[in-house]
């Protein structure tokens, strides 16, 4: 491996899936401004996720619409004229 290209500041971080409130603890170098108290009583940096393996349809086998940022509405508004022409 090349030297000097990998981060040195790995530490324990909690990743939390905001769609179903599951969380897991792992090592990461990702920056975070928030912290959370974990099951062991220690406080760790928190990184919020929109989707993880516990909520993704590929892993769960369930189709569930996750629209956290209004993406479906943005798409429909952007292509409304095109969709209206197609219906006619």
Q: Is the pLDDT of residue 2 over 80?
A: yes
Can you tell me the mean pLDDT for 27-34? 93
Q: Where are the beta strands (DSSP E) in 1-88?
A: 11-17, 22-28, 34-37, 43-49
Task: Give 4's pLDDT tier (boundaries 50, 70, 90).
Answer: confident
pTM for the full predicted model: 0.61
Q: Is the pLDDT of residue 37 over 70?
A: yes
Predicted pLDDT at 77 = 78
- Using only C-alpha atoms, what is the Rg of the chain? 19
């Amino acid at each position: 491996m090349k030297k000097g290209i990998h981060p040195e500041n790995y530490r324990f971080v909690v990743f939390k899936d905001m769609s179903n409130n599951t969380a897991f603890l792992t090592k990461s170098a990702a920056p975070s401004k928030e912290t959370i108290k974990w099951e062991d009583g220690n406080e760790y940096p928190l990184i919020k996720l929109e989707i993880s393996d516990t909520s993704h349809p590929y892993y769960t086998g369930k189709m569930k619409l996750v629209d956290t940022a209004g993406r479906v509405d943005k798409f429909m508004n952007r292509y409304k004229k095109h969709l209206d022409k197609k219906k006619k």
